[in-house]
Each structure stands twice: as C-alpha cells, then as structure tokens.
Structure 1
Amino acid sequence: MLGGARSGKSAHAEGLVSADEQVTYVATGRRDPGDAAWQARIAAHVSRRPAHWRTVEAGDLPPVLAAATGTLLVDDIATWLTGALDDTGAWDGDLSGARARCEELVAAVRTCPSKIVLVSAEVGLGVVPATPSGRLFRDELGSLNARLAEVCDEVLLLVAGVPLRLR
C-alpha cells in the first residue's frame, strides 16, 4: 500500500485484513517523547486498531518477518528507512550500510512465511526536495518501494483516499 501523506493508506491497509485474522501490527516509527504531534499521530493509529491485534515496535524488520505467524501489517517502510539511514550514518554520504539493510528487508519480504501488508509513503510524485537529505530520502525510498513491489503479489496506490490497484 503506497500513498502520500494523509492519504488514508494506513487505515486502508488495516481494512485489508479481516476482523478474525490473527494480526501483528509492526510499528516502525521511533517514539520521540519530545514531539507532541508525533505522539498524537501514534495515538491515533493505536486507537483505531482492534484490541486483539498484537503490536510490535521494531526497527529491525527482517527477524520479525522471519518469525512471523498470522498476518503482519507493517506501518511503515518510510519510517523504517529513516531509522536505517540514521543507524548507518547514510546522511553523511556512505549509503552502503543502509542499502544492505534494504536488500535484507526485500529478501525477508520475499521469504516471509506469512501474509504481509506493507504500508509505505510515495514521496516521488511531488516537488524536488530543496535539501540534499530530502533528495537522498526520496531517491532511496523510491528505489526501496520499487524493489519491494517486485516481490509483492499486489501493489496498491492510494490517491486522495482512493485505492488504485497497480498489480
């Protein structure tokens, strides 16, 4: 599930799993207690999830995917990539560590024994970011989204709240 900011992609992805499925919601965004807006956004996501869903906060996705049982809903790839870029020092120019982590993620998605619903931002449809870090993020996320789409059975794009089936 790809989509722009506030497009409804997370809510739509949540609706792709049936109410009786065993779902593990994998939250990739890192908590920042000093960012009230981010905390409110997390709380909004938590409040609309069914109580029987299990939530895992994970920055390291491949082991979570390898050990999966039931359905996984990963929300989202963009925040996971931000963490990978942070952890590997990629913002300073050496992308090799972050790209290796991306390849590990693609391999883990390919071989995951469970149904996975991935949510990711589509950031390449707008203006060219003004900063080098913005351009780096846009390019790396676009590349990762494309590689993940290659190993997924279905790909949806949410535009203005409307899902479009790409595959």
Structure 2
Amino acid sequence: MAIFITGGARSGKSGFAEAYARKLSDRGVYIATSQSFDDEMKERTRLHRQQRERSGYAWRTIEEPLALAEVLAELEREQAGGAGRPAVLVDCLTLWLTNWLLRLDPGTDGEQETKTNEDRLQAELDKLIAAVDAYTGPLLLVTNEVGSGIVPAYPLGRRFRDEAGRLNRRLAGHCAEAYLVVAGIPLDLKRHAFRLEED
C-alpha cells in the first residue's frame, strides 16, 4: 500500500511519516535521497540518522540519490510474499527530483540536449511510478509542496517547481492514501477530496 505525504518545509511531514511507519510495521527501511555536498548537509544527515537510531524503532537506512525505482524493485524482490514486511519510507521525492534535474541540466540552451534530458527525466519518473505501483508492502513517500510560494527567478528553479508539481500530482493519484501536513497536523486529502460527477 503506497501512502503519499506532502507539506511545506518543517511542516512535520517526515515526523508524521516515521510515526505512521511505526504503526504499519515493527521495523522499517529508510531510503534517504539527499546528497551531502557540504559540512552543513553532512551534519544534518548525521543528526537525522542519530534521531532515527535513538527512536527505538529498527530502521535500516539506504542512501540512494538517483536509483530510487531500482531500490524499490530490489526490496520488492527480497520481500514479496513475506510476512511482517518492513515499512519502507522514502524521504524525500523532491530531493530525488532535484538530483535528477541537476544531473541532467546541460547548462546550455541547446535544443537537442534539452529535449534529450527532458525525455530522460520523464523516463525516470515513469520508472518510479511503475515501481510504486508494483510495490506490494507498506510504502510511505514523503515530498515537498513547493507550488504555493513565489515564482523562482531563474529557469532551473521554475522547471523544478513545475516538475515537482507534476510529480506530486501523478504520485498522489497512484497512492491509496494521501496526506498534507500543515503545522504538524496531517490532513487526509483523499477522504475530503471533492469529486466531479461524470456523465
């Protein structure tokens, strides 16, 4: 069962996801998508890992900035059909998207490069959606809601905002549950979703 969890920075979405994971299983797999390029990020990563270890919950951490679909497929192969499967928590999808955008950014205005990179990004998004659909255990997907702020002043920032919105919309549609965390309060989006009647 896939669960989509979104919210703004420091909204409490990761804390909610970890608490929900503890309800779903007695152990978890934490897939961290961040990359530590500087001392501040290294310290932040160390503190997050330390907090998980002190929680008393049995977390196994996998650090994977890019090959998220492949990690989910491997976990599915390892655990499919087994009893007492761990809760898998991905934190977070917008960092994963950032990693791909930075990797594929040609740094030029070359039309061919841009088209090729766009196709590659869409292929990675499609692979991730397929891996989420194929995953049969408890899976919590944490992402950031970035569309409520100002329009970024530079092209890559605007592309990130647009791609994050598209990614969130697609993934939420493939998840059984979807939550928006605001000021530490999780709101059940699917339970309260307005549905247009179809003729």
Same fold (TM over 0.5): yes
Of 169, 172, 178, which residue of structure 2 is paired with 1:155? 178
Cα shift readout 1:19-50 (whole Å, capped 9, x = no counterpart): 75221100011122xx2221222123212214
1:56 aligned to which of 32, 48, 62? 62
Residue aligning to 1:13: 17
Cα pair distance change 1:112/1:164, threshold 3 Å: same
Matched, 1:126 2:149: yes
Task: Determine the C-alpha separation between the residues in 2 that align with 1:40 and 1:122.
Answer: 24
Counterparts of 2:106 and 2:129, CA distance in 1: 19
Q: Which moved more, 1:134-143 or 1:14-23?
A: 14-23
RMSD: 1.7
Conserved 8 A contact 1:85-1:91: no
Q: How does 1:13-162 map to 2 (within 5 A)?
A: 13-18=17-22, 21-32=26-37, 35-50=38-53, 52-58=58-64, 59-68=66-75, 69=79, 70-89=86-105, 92=108, 93-94=114-115, 95-162=118-185
Structure 2 CA distance for partners of 1:84 and 1:60, relative to 1, 3 Å: same
Percent identity over the alignment?
Answer: 41
Query: Structure 1 residue 114: deviation in Å?
Result: 1.7
> Which of residues 2, 8, 23 in structure 2 aligns to 1:4?
8
The residue type equivalent to 1:61 in the other structure is L
Indicate the larger mover: 151-160 or 46-55.
46-55
8 Å contact kept, 1:10–1:75: yes
Contact 1:72/1:115 (8 A) holds in 2:
yes
**How has the CA–CA distance of structure 1 residues 149 and 90 changed in structure 2, closer, same or farther, with 3 Å as cutoff?**
farther
List alignment gaps of at least 5 residues for structure 1. none
Q: How many residues align?
A: 165
Query: What is the TM-score with the length of structure 2 in the denominator?
Result: 0.77
Further displaced range: 122-131 or 39-48: 39-48
CA deviations 1:75-121 (Å, max 9, x no partner) are 00011111111233366533111111011101110111221001001
* Corresponding residue for residue 197 of structure 2: none
> TM-score, structure 1 length as denominator?
0.91
Q: In structure 2, do the counterparts of structure 1 residues 48 and 127 end up closer, same or farther at CA, with 3 Å as the change threshold?
A: same
Shift of 1:11: 1.2
Distance 2:161 2:11 in 1: 17
Q: What secondary structure sits across from 1:5 in the alignment?
A: coil
Query: Any unmatched runs of 5+ in structure 2?
Result: 80-85, 109-113, 191-199
User: 2:105 & 2:138 partners in 1: Cα distance?
Assistant: 32
Structure with greater Cα Rg: 2
Q: Quote the Cα distance in structure 2 between the aligned partners of 1:5 and 1:91.
A: 28
